[in-house]
Amino acid sequence: MTLPAAMTEAVARLTLPGLAVIEGERVEAESGATFHNVSPRDGRVLNLVTACQAVDVERAVASARAAFEDGRWRDLGPRAKKAILFRLADLMERDAEELALLESLDVGKPIRDARAVDIPLAINTCRWYAEALDKFYGEVGTSPVDRLSYAVHEPLGVIGAIVPWNFPLHMAMWKVAPALAMGNSVVLKPAEQSPLTALKLGELALEAGLPAGVLNVVPGLGSVAGEALALSMDVDMIAFTGSGPVGRRLMEYSARSNLKRVSLELGGKSPQIVFADCPDLDAAAQAAAWGVFYNQGEVCTAASRLLVEASIKDAFLDRVVAVARDMVPGDPLDPATVFGAMVSERQMNTALDYIATADSQGARRVLGGRQVRQDSGGYFVEPTIFDRVAPESTLAREEVFGPVLGVMSFSSEAEAFRLANDTVYGLAAGLWTSDISRALGGARQLRAGLVWVNGWDACDITMPFGGFKQSGFGRDRSLHALHKYADLKSVSVTLR
C-alpha cells in the first residue's frame, strides 16, 4: 500500500537524533562507538546512534551528581520548577507530530496510536507532575509542648531510569516526570531498540530551560550502558520497566554496588474473566481482543489469558475471533493501520516460537499464527488465538509479549479465580459480570496490582500502576510515584 504523499514528505523531513545528551551537550561516545537503529517497519537501518560505554555512563552520572549537589534544580523553588516542566510539555506538544513519527518508525506501532495515545499521554504525564510537585506535603507529628517534630520528603539524588521499547516516550515520562518533580537528577537509559524519542526528549528538556546535567540521556546496549548505570556507586536508585530476568539482575547489581534502591515494573500473564452474566458480551469481546492485541501484544498488561464460563465459551469466542479478524497487519505509517510490526526480528521469532509450542502441546489454533508481509522486510505476525489451552501449558504460564491469546473455560466462580491466580505474575486482571458482589469479591480475590471490572485498562494517571508477585514492586503514576523518588526525613526541634 502506498503511503499518502504528505506522510512520505513528513518522514523525509525528519532529523533523526543519534547523540547522547550529557552535561547539557549532545555528544558522541568517548570511543566513537555507534549501533544501527533498525526500523521494524521494513528492517532497514534508520540511523546510527551513539553506543554509550561505561565511561560515558559514568560521565553522565557525574554530571547528574554535580547538578544535584550544587542545587541548581533541587533547590529551585516550586514555581520555577513548574514553569520549566510546563514549558517542556508545551515543547513536546509543539513537536507532537515529529515525536509520533519517530515512535512509529522506531517501534513499529501504528502512527494512529502514537498520535492518539503515546505522545498525548507522555505530555499529560509531564503536565500532571508539574502541577503536583507543590501538593506533596510533609507531616507534623504530635509532640510535647517543648518540642516540634515533623517529617519532610527530600529528593533521593541521582535516579537511573531504564525504560522499555514498547511505549518509549510514555514510559520514560512515567519515571522522568515524577523524579524531576521531586528535585532529583536523572540519567535516562532508553532501550536500544527505541532510542529516538528519549534522545529528542533530552534535547527538548534543554530547550525548556532544564539546567545542564539534570537530565542526561545515554543510549546504548543494556548489557553495557544499562549495566554500568546499575552498578554505579553514585546512582541512588534504579527505576526500571522491562523483563523479569533483567529485573533480577538489577537487584543483584544493587547488592554488588551501593545498595541503591530498585523499583521494578516487570511482566505479566494477565487474565480476563468473562462470566455468563456479563452485562455486554460485545463490549467484552472488543476488550478481550484489544486487551491482548493492542500494540501487537507488546504490552506488560496484555490480557493474554481469556477465561470464559463454559456455558457461553464457544459463542463468546466467535465474537472475539470476529473482532480480531479485522486487525490486519499493515504499514505502521499508514493512518489506516490498526495493527503494526513487532519491534524486532528477535521478538517476532519469539512469538512464532510460542505459537509453534502451543501447536505442539495440543492447543487448538482458531485464528492466525503466521508471519505476514514478508515482502516489506518488516517484522509482522498475525493476531493469533488458541482455544483449549491447558493450564499447565507453556502458553498459559509464560509471557509471550506478542499477539497470542490463550483461551480456557471454567465451570464455577471458584475455578475462575483459581485459574486467574495460577501464575507467578500479578500485574493486571479483569472480570465481566452483572453481579456486584461477585465483582467486589473478585477484585479482592484477584492477586494483581490492577483489577478492572467490566472494562480493560480503564484507569489513568491519577491511579497507581504496578504489580504483585513477580510482576515487580514500586508504583508508577499518581502521587504514589513521588514517594519512591523521595527520602523521608524526621526533624525534631526542642523549643526554649
* 388-420 tens-digit pLDDT: 999 999 999 999 999 999 999 999 999 999 999
d(CA 6, CA 270) in angstroms, rounded, equals: 40
* CATH number, domain containing residue 477: 3.40.605.10
At 474 the pLDDT is: 96
Mean pLDDT of 176-190: 99
At 496 the pLDDT is: 85
User: Which residues, at least 6 apart from 271, have a Cβ–Cβ distance to it below 8 Å?
Assistant: 303, 305, 306, 307, 419, 420, 423, 429, 430
* CATH number, domain containing residue 410: 3.40.309.10
Residues 472-483 have pLDDT tens digits of 999 999 999 999
Q: What grid cell was written down for 129?
A: 507532575
At 5 the pLDDT is: 85
Same domain, 341 and 366: yes
User: Which residues, at least 6 apart from 68, have a Cβ–Cβ distance to it below 8 Å?
Assistant: 74, 155, 157, 158, 184, 185
Minimum mean pLDDT range among 239-248, 254-263, 321-330, 451-460: 451-460
The two beta strands, 428-432 and 25-27, are: unpaired
* Predicted confidence (pLDDT) at residue 111 exceeds the cutoff of 60: yes
Indicate the number of domains in the chain: 2
Same domain, 276 and 261: no
User: Which residues, at least 6 apart from 490, have a Cβ–Cβ distance to it below 8 Å?
Assistant: 141, 149, 150, 151
Same domain, 68 and 139: yes
Of 58, 79, 55, 75, residue with least CA distance to 67:
75
Question: How confident is residue 3, by pLDDT bands cut at 50, 70 and 90?
Answer: confident
- Residue 145 sits at φ, ψ, to 5 deg, of -65, -20
At 198 the pLDDT is: 99
Does residue 467 lie within any of the structural domains?
no
d(CA 61, CA 74) in angstroms, rounded, equals: 16
Kindly report the average pLDDT of the chain as a whole number.
98
User: Which residues, at least 6 apart from 325, have a Cβ–Cβ distance to it below 8 Å?
Assistant: 367, 383
Does residue 90 lie within any of the structural domains?
yes
Active-site residue 265, yes or no? yes
Residues 191-226 have pLDDT tens digits of 999 999 999 999 999 999 999 999 999 999 999 999
* Predicted confidence (pLDDT) at residue 35 exceeds the cutoff of 80: yes
Same domain, 283 and 399: yes
Provide the domain limits for residue 439: 271-462
At 256 the pLDDT is: 98
Let me know: does 288 contact 271? Beta carbons within 8 Å.
no
User: Which one from 265, 309, 399, 413 is the annotated catalytic residue?
Assistant: 265
Does residue 127 lie within any of the structural domains?
yes
The Cα angle at residue 326 between residues 323 and 328, in degrees rounded to 5: 135
Same domain, 321 and 185: no
Helix axes 96-107, 119-132, angle to 10 degrees: 120
Compute CA 293 distance to the chain's CA centroid, rounded to the nearest angstrom: 16
At 467 the pLDDT is: 98
Same domain, 32 and 168: yes
d(CA 291, CA 312) in angstroms, rounded, equals: 19
Does residue 495 lie within any of the structural domains?
no
Three-state DSSP class for residue 259: coil
Does residue 494 lie within any of the structural domains?
no
d(CA 44, CA 105) in angstroms, rounded, equals: 10
The secondary element (H helix, E strand) that includes residue 67 is helix 54-69
Same domain, 478 and 457: no
Beta bridge partners of 25: 22
Alpha-helical runs (H) found in 215-338: 227-231, 244-256, 281-293, 313-325
Same domain, 246 and 286: no
Q: What is the CA radius of gyration of the chain?
A: 23
At 63 the pLDDT is: 99
The secondary element (H helix, E strand) that includes residue 263 is strand 261-265
* Predicted confidence (pLDDT) at residue 367 exceeds the cutoff of 90: yes
Same domain, 257 and 275: no
At 485 the pLDDT is: 98
CB atoms within 10 A of CB 402: 26
Residues 127-166 have pLDDT tens digits of 999 999 999 999 999 999 999 999 999 999 999 999 999 9
Question: How confident is residue 358, by pLDDT bands cut at 50, 70 and 90?
Answer: very high
Same domain, 335 and 404: yes
The secondary element (H helix, E strand) that includes residue 64 is helix 54-69
**Segment 253-258 long-range contacts (CB within 8 Å, at least 24 positions apart):** 253/227, 254/230, 256/231, 257/230, 257/231, 257/232, 257/233, 258/233, 258/234
Q: What grid cell was written down for 352?
A: 512464532
d(CA 486, CA 153) in angstroms, rounded, equals: 6
* Predicted confidence (pLDDT) at residue 33 exceeds the cutoff of 60: yes
Of 490, 483, 37, residue with least CA distance to 220:
37
Mean pLDDT of 285-289: 99
Q: Which residue has the cell 518540642?
A: 147
Same domain, 134 and 194: yes
Does residue 379 lie within any of the structural domains?
yes
Percentage with pLDDT > 70 across the chain: 100
Same domain, 227 and 309: no
Does residue 496 lie within any of the structural domains?
no
Q: What grid cell was written down for 478?
A: 499518581
At 1 the pLDDT is: 56
Residues 298-310 have pLDDT tens digits of 999 999 999 999 9
The two beta strands, 158-162 and 237-241, are: parallel
Three-state DSSP class for residue 311: helix
At 334 the pLDDT is: 97
* Predicted confidence (pLDDT) at residue 232 exceeds the cutoff of 70: yes
pTM: 0.96
At 305 the pLDDT is: 99
387: left (phi over 0), alpha (psi -120 to 50) or beta: beta
d(CA 308, CA 285) in angstroms, rounded, equals: 11
Residues 265-276 have pLDDT tens digits of 999 999 999 999
- Residue 225 sits at φ, ψ, to 5 deg, of -70, -45
Does residue 20 lie within any of the structural domains?
yes
